[in-house]
Amino acid sequence: MRAILSLWLALALLAAPAAAPAQPDPGNPEAAFADLQAMVGEMRSRYYTPGEHVPGWNRGGADPNADLRAVGPESHYFGIADNSGRSVGILTSRPISAFAPAAWRVVDTYGSSATRLDNPEIAFEMLSQRYAVGLRANGRRAGDADCSDPIANATLYEIPGAPARAGDDMIPILFRVALLAADGQIVCSRSEGNARTGYRTRAFTPDGHRLPALDEPDELIRIVPAAPIDQLITFAPVTQG
């Protein structure tokens, strides 16, 4: 499950005011396209460049999805907490729209909710107090690790009445940039821990190379009782060091 959310670590970081790139110039389409390509290339290089190979990377890891299914994926979700707030992961065949609060306004979409997946997973994450994203992808077990296939569909939402912050105007652009950067990327995660204490993960390529830029050292994943999405996810501004 964390593999889906790892795809959005890059967006959350780039959406922070100090890290946001220059707004593409809509009056110059060629320059705007070149800027977009550069942003995609930078994000892909920064977050998806394979690191060292780790022998046995997918042996001996925990199985959070099996633990969640044991207590009931309809009554419990994954709650993911780190220094950027709280996110949620759901094992379900239902579409993103079935969980999004009715008051949220759709800003942009990617892919199709009709795409058939063998083992669908959904994630919701706040990108600011004003914007949230829902994502859907296919998850699969790889030895004792979990892999998420490329995102099948995603929805960017605006939360009416939420306060705006510097950098919010870049989020709709970064939504597309992150999707393009993640296109074709399969992210795997090895989990350590258990249902009682929670889980911590490390990111890998499918052939066992580290993806350290997608790791969240402060992140802890727990199994939590199901509740409305807007009661489970929160946003905390990312502090740039």
pLDDT in tens, 129-156: 999 999 999 999 999 999 999 999 999 9
Alpha helix (H) residue ranges in 93-133: none
Residue whose entry in the numeric block shows the structure tokens 């795809």? 7
Mean of pLDDT over the chain: 87
Identify the pLDDT of residue 4. Answer: 54
Among 180, 95, 81, 185, residue whose Cα is nearest residue 125: 81
Helix (H/G/I), strand (E/B), else coil: 68: helix
- Give the mean pLDDT of 144-173: 92
Instruction: Judge contact between 120 and 140, C-beta under 8 A.
Output: no
What's residue 19's pLDDT?
43
Which long-range CB contacts under 8 A does 15-18 form with residues at least 24 apart? Answer: 15/127, 15/128, 15/167, 15/168, 15/170, 15/171, 15/174, 15/238, 16/167, 16/237, 16/238, 16/240, 17/165, 17/166, 17/167, 18/240
% of the chain exceeding 90 in pLDDT: 63
| Residue that wins the pLDDT comparison between 42 and 18 | 42
User: Given this model, what pLDDT does residue 17 score?
Assistant: 42
- Please, which pLDDT band fits residue 14 given cuts at 50, 70 and 90? very low
